[in-house]
Structure 1
Amino acid sequence: MADNTNTMIDPKIFQYLQAHAEEQTEVGDKLTQIITGFNRHISTAQGHLSRIHATPLQKLGPLLSQVESEGIKPAIESIGELNKFASNYPYYKYNFRWRSAVQNLIYVMLITAWLGGLSSESKPGELGRLLRIEEIGEILKVPVNLEDRDAFHITIEEYILALTDLTDELSRLAMNSVTMGNIDLTVRISQFIKDLFAGFQLLNLKNDIVRKRIDAVKYHVKKVEDVIYDLSLRNLIPKAAEQV
């Protein structure tokens, strides 16, 4: 009778594969749990921010406070949990799972700061403030643009993509500001996104997705320029606004 215990393949190979397959499943399940809560907080913040298009500028304070307390603050706790857990595993193996959520959170923070929220100690409530990527990292308490170790971090690509989301939303706000009678805000937005687009032109980017999103910013610029042109024809832009 033949001895079936003698095989040409070491059973440990399959034991190793099974163990790693189970580990990946467990990691995936935990990430799904964290990111689901993370996205819920971001959706709450975005829901509140959707009201900026029908809220006068002088009444934005309470709305932005609500965005921060009910959306951004809980999201910071979630990203802290994600940072702690994901840093135990290769970053580029799993980062596709949270990339969109992180980008959305950065966008929420950018527009909140631009409208006067997330105030710094030096310039509280400043309209038109652009958060740098380092400031994003400080607020979220996570590293940015890591190159010396394999751990969770905020990437430059995520930040740039969030900036393109910001220009898209501000171009929409510029149009709605006219209907609310706040032409000064429309002019300020026009200057800001033009300056931002000019800055984008200095970048030498190799990521196709980022390049395409930056190319789309010119349409956001044109949309607002058309509004400004229409207002100018009607002599509706105050002299003070023109100087901005």
Structure 2
Amino acid sequence: MAAPSGLIAHGLFEDLQARTDEDTAIRDGLRDIIQTWEKQNRSITYVLSRGHGTPIAKLSELLKSAEEPLGKAVETVGKLAEVASKAPYYKFNGMWSRQMQDLVFQILFWGWLGGYENGGGEVKSGRLMNIEEVGEYLKVPVNLKDEDKFHLAIEEYLHALISLVEELARLARNSVTMGEYERPVLINQFVKDVLAGFQILNLKNDSLRRRSDSLKYKVKDVEDIIYDLSLRDLLPKKE
């Protein structure tokens, strides 16, 4: 039986179609930018991965070479933020959250190796960039609560920090291969501090909680390296 006239507002479905078309256009525009971003992230990874075979004395040149691909990725993030601002943040942020985590990890690794210069002009290996510094580098706001627009979320930063610990555990082993025995000691203290920090957090995000549980195994990997160095009497002597 046909629905009585007047029960369905005139133009309702036309309006829904128009909204759907608008969302589709935004999604398509975001997808094109994200594909470019993914390529740029891979370029950064290619450059920074060479840090595993680069002696500390030659790191500055490598870190300098990473600045160009990092800068291009930051520009792309700006373009993405501009398009994403046309729609509610949480409607589309799942499209780029993984890419954001990857880029933030790369920024953290670059900064840890000594690529980041803070406001005081200090460049220091082993330093962790906080979330505000990363947001400033990316030129995006951080952890917005009262505005529904593009930003760097705390969960994305924490995922990136876990990736950093995983990368540093690998770097500790490769540093021993190169005869760089001071760096594993620095990494050992750093990853322990990160683990202690995560133990303070009451994480609600399931994937983040599962990944954080693996941190203790990475810390143990580094501790095993330090133990092996101590048995071989290769640890740097304390002054």
TM-score, normalising length: structure 1: 0.92
Q: Does 1:50 align with 2:24?
A: no
Counterpart position of 1:150 = 148
Structure 1 CA distance for aligned equivalents of residues 168 and 236 of structure 2: 20
Query: SS in structure 2 opposite 1:239?
Result: coil
Query: SS in structure 2 opposite 1:43?
Result: helix
Structure 2 CA distance for aligned equivalents of residues 212 and 9 of structure 1: 47
Structure 1 CA distance for aligned equivalents of residues 80 and 146 of structure 2: 20
TM-superposition CA deviations, 1:105-156 (whole Å, max 9, x none): 1101101010000222425331111101001111111100001111010000
Q: Structure 2: where are the runs of 5+ without partners?
A: none
| Per-residue deviation, 1:163 | 0.2
Q: CA RMSD in A?
A: 1.4
Counterpart position of 1:3 = none
Structure 2 CA distance for aligned equivalents of residues 22 and 203 of structure 1: 41
Query: SS in structure 2 opposite 1:95?
Result: helix
Counterpart residue type for residue 19 of structure 1? A
Equivalent positions of 1:19-30 (< 5 A) are 19-30=18-29
Moved over 4 A (4+): 6-11
Q: 2:203 aligns with which of 197, 202, 205?
A: 205
Counterpart position of 1:185 = 183
TM-superposition CA deviations, 1:182-240 (whole Å, max 9, x none): 01001110110011111111111111111111111111101011111111111111213
Q: 1:125 aligns with which of 111, 118, 123?
A: 123
Counterpart residue type for residue 111 of structure 1? F
Counterpart position of 2:225 = 227
Q: Does 1:35 align with 2:43?
A: no
TM-superposition CA deviations, 1:64-83 (whole Å, max 9, x none): 111111x2100110111111
Structure 1 CA distance for aligned equivalents of residues 114 and 98 of structure 2: 25
Q: Structure 1: where are the runs of 5+ without partners?
A: 1-5
Counterpart residue type for residue 12 of structure 2? I
Q: 1:238 aligns with which of 209, 224, 236?
A: 236
Identical-residue share of aligned pairs (%): 49
